Structure 1
Amino acid sequence: MSKSLQEPPGSGPKGPDDYRRLRRIIAEDPLWSLALVPSLSHLCLKSFVRDFEGLTVYEQLSNTQRQFIQERLPPSLPLSVTANVIEDGVYWERCCKQQWDLCDVSRYGDSWKRMFFERRLEGMIELFIPGVTETKKILDMVPLCENYVKRLDISQLLTPIRVPKKGKDEDDNVLGMETDDDYDQMNHFDFCILLEKLTCLEELHLVYRVKQCGLNYEGRMFEMNYKDCQSLSKALKSCKTLKLLRLHQSNIDDAKVQMLVKQLLGHPSLRELDFSHNVIGDLGAGAVGKLLAKSKLEVLSMCDNDITDSGGKAIAQALSKNSTLVSLNLRLNRLRDEGGQAIAEALMNNNTLRHLHLGANEVSGPTAIALAKVIAQNNTLKSINLSCNNLGEDGGKALAEAMSHNTSVTECDLRLSEVDEQIVSSINQVVWTNQGLGKKDRAGLNLTKYKLEDPLRTNQS
């Protein structure tokens, strides 16, 4: 071979390395690169993603390999395929963010899988139309989500589609004369079919109402009826893991509370009960008092109801015997001084209650004086709210005198209570001092715990 063929034109003698630097490959595919050929394991994982529905070796893969698959699986896969196979991780995060704009995973114990199944089941219940939606849809979901649902927050419950009964006089319909006999009773979703099967459920928040009903408004859309109460009572009794029950804005009266309480007596795990914003009167308060005396409730809230002095006395009687309740909220009722004084007297024998809210209860000086005696000798109470009452000068002075000897109360709300501003200021000063003492005590406890947990480090110091 001639020299001219061996060397590029216009160049002198060159070594082998010089020729390698001059060699170039121009690819016809503009996306071609010099990247290495994918490994066989990489190609296998890609095939697993493509054929995941028939995959049986997922649990045998390493964490890194599972992460690779979770990042690439389509969120549209059937839940029957993914629910009990794919663990909590990036796949469920992708599913959540695809379905909802706002995803605060901290409300779900930082578990994306729990968020997905709780919100999915909540949506199915909130859109359930009795008599139209098949209960099979809910029941088919249970085996997929039962291990992950710990809380249900139901913000609406739809009623059946109302169809007039045949044979009704058309003139009555024209005149708008409708009675309860015109339509079937408006029952909501039956929780009996569900709660017993949710073996991890700890919190249940319910509101019997219809959101955005528009011109179709009817009063019965915003209340729990008798049959609803019957079915819910049975469902609550069967849900042995329930710790918190909240029933708001559902027009619950005394009869319904009595029915609910009857099934909750002796409940093994219930610790928090909230019947706020209903129409519960003294009979209902008496029923709750029986529950308080026989259960292990720690938090009870019945604010914004129709409880008067008689109901307050029933709760006070139970409170004097209770040794578990930590918080009692009776705001926006009408206990008056008889009910308020009864609760104060009960606290003389109670060493567990830490938070008491009697705001807007038409109590006055006698109640404040009775509570002052409690404050003077009770070191358990941490917060007292007597706002929006007429405590007067005598009540304010009694509270101020008692607070001057107290070191445990770190919150005392006397806004709009007709107490002199100077007295309120002196009470607030004691509260701030107690707050500082509480911080020092907690710091001391933490230091003691630190020394006990690491004696070697303490000895070195």
Structure 2
Amino acid sequence: MSQSQSSRTPRGMRPGTRVADGRKMRTLFAEDPEWSLALVPSLTTLCLQHIIKHFEENPILDELKPKYKAYVLQRLPESLPLTVCANLISDESYWKRCCERRWRICDVSSYGNSWKRMFFERHLENIVELFIPDETDTKTVLCLVPLCRNYVKRLNITQLLPPIKEPASFDEDDRSDCASDLGSEGPSIDHFDFRILLDKLPNLEELSVVYGVKACGMNFEWNLFEFTFRDCESLAKALNSCKTLQVFRIHRSRVDDEKCCLLVSQLLDHPSLQELDFSHNHISDRGARAIGKLLNRSQLKRLVVCNNQIRASGAQALAHALARNATLMSLNLRLNHIGDEGGQALAQALIKNKTLVNLHLEGNNMSEPSAAALSQALAENGTLKSLNLSNNRLGVDGGKLLEEGMSHNSSLVECDVRVTDVGQDSLLCINEALSANQVQARKHNHNYGTNAEV
């Protein structure tokens, strides 16, 4: 080898750089001046990225170490099919991202602080609310059940869509032949059939239903808000099959006496029902009598039948049941028409009842005779804590009677007598008695808490 060849600087070496044998060498530089070895992802990271990319086809999660599992969960897309992620991913941060991506307002405190529960309850609610009878395939609901059944505790259904009614069309010549067949035509169901769902949700505790359509605007028709007898039959059977149900509400659905009786008949002796809400419907005395029967064949703690058409006879039936009841703690009869006969009956029931804590009787056309009966009840009842009598015609004399009853009462801490025409002197005395009871209640609660700690 010639001298010139032996002293030649190797390719890629900066002049002036020496190697072990004393020769000068040059340093290699990358074409990208910002490149460094630190930018090269590790083999572990490449594997995790591959898992994320192909998670839908091959979901690998539980086999990973905790730190790698956390890495994957933080980067999984929210668009994964529920069949893949529903029963595999329990990480709350993932379900939080799913909820916030889908809904603008997300109050997780209303769902036991569980983002996964929020997602599946709201998702199932949306499916039911957009279900169109004879149009939507029931598989859209049934396929979801195995994925959400363990997480759904409450359903708040704010609308139920009716079937799509197509206009009848037939030829003039066929009119006579078709006329006989029109009676047999029609949808197979009128609204969503809860029988296909409720018995498949083992943790369902609360169901609220409205048979109506939201935001119908200029397309308003009464049939959009029709809770049919066929609907009632299917709903009643569904309620009977749901043994875990604790709260049932049906609002603004034009529930009349016949439908109320049918629903109640399937709730008799229900093992877990604690709250029943029939507010804003068309229930009258017959329906109230059925509810009275339910009071002593259930474990109800709260009953709401406000804004219905219950009159004296219905109130008397409820009072008869209340006198023997040992579980009910709250009764709301606001905005009915029970009058003095109903008011007096309920007051007499309070003398015997030992469990009721809250009673709402506002807006019921009651007057002085009701005030007299309630005065006697307050003097003897030691359980009631809240009484609302607002928007009744008690008058000055009625106020004096209530004042007398309150002077012998030690349990009532709230009494609303607004818009009742009671005198100012009576109002002042009633408020003073309430204040004294409130002080005693606070002392009792404090002592009870201290003793409990000891």
TM range (shorter): 0.7 to 0.9
Deviation at 1:369, TM superposition (A): 1.5
Q: 43-52 or 292-301: which moved more?
A: 43-52
- Paired with 1:187 and 1:436, the residues of 2 have a C-alpha distance of 55
1:308 matched residue in structure 2:
311
1:457 matched residue in structure 2:
none
- Paired with 2:150 and 2:393, the residues of 1 have a C-alpha distance of 51
Question: What are the within-5 Å matches in structure 2 for residues 74-113 of structure 1?
Answer: 74-113=77-116
1:272 matched residue in structure 2:
275
How big is the alpha-carbon RMSD for the aligned residues of Structure 1 and Structure 2? 2.5
1:157 matched residue in structure 2:
160
- Paired with 1:95 and 1:228, the residues of 2 have a C-alpha distance of 34
Alignment check: 8 A CA contact 2:73 2:91 kept: no
The DSSP-based 3-state class of the residue aligned with 1:416 is coil
1:323 matched residue in structure 2:
326
Q: 307-316 or 340-349: which moved more?
A: 340-349
1:6-47 per-residue CA deviation (whole Å, 9 max, x = no partner) reads 69xxxxxxxxxxxxxxxx997654664674865554443333
1:371-398 per-residue CA deviation (whole Å, 9 max, x = no partner) reads 1122112221110000000111222112
Alignment check: 8 A CA contact 2:59 2:84 kept: no
Q: 440-449 or 89-98: which moved more?
A: 440-449
AA at the equivalent of 1:184: G
- Mapped pair 1:394 → 2:397: yes
- Paired with 1:247 and 1:283, the residues of 2 have a C-alpha distance of 18
CA, structure 1 residues 93+6, in 2 after alignment: closer, same or farther (shift >3 Å)?
Answer: same
Question: What are the within-5 Å matches in structure 2 for residues 364-379 of structure 1?
Answer: 364-379=367-382
1:351-408 per-residue CA deviation (whole Å, 9 max, x = no partner) reads 0000000000001111112111221122211100000001112221121122223222
Deviation at 1:410, TM superposition (A): 1.4
1:248-285 per-residue CA deviation (whole Å, 9 max, x = no partner) reads 00000000001101111111111000000000000000
- Mapped pair 1:184 → 2:183: no
AA at the equivalent of 1:432: S
- Paired with 2:422 and 2:165, the residues of 1 have a C-alpha distance of 54
- Paired with 2:202 and 2:381, the residues of 1 have a C-alpha distance of 40
1:299 matched residue in structure 2:
302
- Paired with 1:365 and 1:27, the residues of 2 have a C-alpha distance of 98
1:62-121 per-residue CA deviation (whole Å, 9 max, x = no partner) reads 444333222110011100000000004111000000000000000000000000001001
1:137 matched residue in structure 2:
140
CA, structure 1 residues 437+43, in 2 after alignment: closer, same or farther (shift >3 Å)?
Answer: farther
Which runs of 5 or more residues in structure 1 are unaligned?
8-23, 173-179, 452-461
Alignment check: 8 A CA contact 1:67 1:90 kept: no
The DSSP-based 3-state class of the residue aligned with 1:294 is coil
1:255 matched residue in structure 2:
258
The DSSP-based 3-state class of the residue aligned with 2:343 is helix
Alignment check: 8 A CA contact 1:192 1:231 kept: yes
- Mapped pair 1:242 → 2:267: no
CA, structure 1 residues 370+63, in 2 after alignment: closer, same or farther (shift >3 Å)?
Answer: farther
1:357 aligned residue (350, 356, 360): 360
CA, structure 1 residues 141+432, in 2 after alignment: closer, same or farther (shift >3 Å)?
Answer: same
Deviation at 1:54, TM superposition (A): 4.4
Alignment check: 8 A CA contact 1:162 1:183 kept: no
AA at the equivalent of 2:111: Y
AA at the equivalent of 2:186: D
2:288 matched residue in structure 1:
285
- Mapped pair 1:410 → 2:380: no
1:18 matched residue in structure 2:
none
1:67 aligned residue (50, 59, 70): 70
Deviation at 1:218, TM superposition (A): 1.2
The DSSP-based 3-state class of the residue aligned with 1:379 is coil
Alignment check: 8 A CA contact 2:51 2:59 kept: no
Alignment check: 8 A CA contact 1:373 1:402 kept: yes
The DSSP-based 3-state class of the residue aligned with 2:379 is helix
1:13 matched residue in structure 2:
none
Q: 148-157 or 375-384: which moved more?
A: 375-384
CA, structure 1 residues 166+379, in 2 after alignment: closer, same or farther (shift >3 Å)?
Answer: same
The DSSP-based 3-state class of the residue aligned with 1:52 is coil
TM-score (normalised: structure 1): 0.86
- Paired with 1:371 and 1:168, the residues of 2 have a C-alpha distance of 69
Deviation at 1:163, TM superposition (A): 1.3
The DSSP-based 3-state class of the residue aligned with 2:250 is strand
2:221 matched residue in structure 1:
218
1:166-214 per-residue CA deviation (whole Å, 9 max, x = no partner) reads 43879x9xxxxxxx96973670111111111111111000000011222
Q: 48-57 or 35-44: which moved more?
A: 35-44
- Paired with 2:310 and 2:29, the residues of 1 have a C-alpha distance of 87
**Aligned pairs, number:** 425
Which runs of 5 or more residues in structure 2 are unaligned?
1-6, 8-14, 18-26, 176-181
- Mapped pair 1:148 → 2:151: yes
1:406-458 per-residue CA deviation (whole Å, 9 max, x = no partner) reads 2221110001011112211221222233223323322222222223xxxxxxx
AA at the equivalent of 2:427: V
1:99-152 per-residue CA deviation (whole Å, 9 max, x = no partner) reads 000000000000000000010010111111111111111110100000001111
CA, structure 1 residues 33+350, in 2 after alignment: closer, same or farther (shift >3 Å)?
Answer: farther
Alignment check: 8 A CA contact 1:165 1:182 kept: no
The DSSP-based 3-state class of the residue aligned with 1:75 is coil
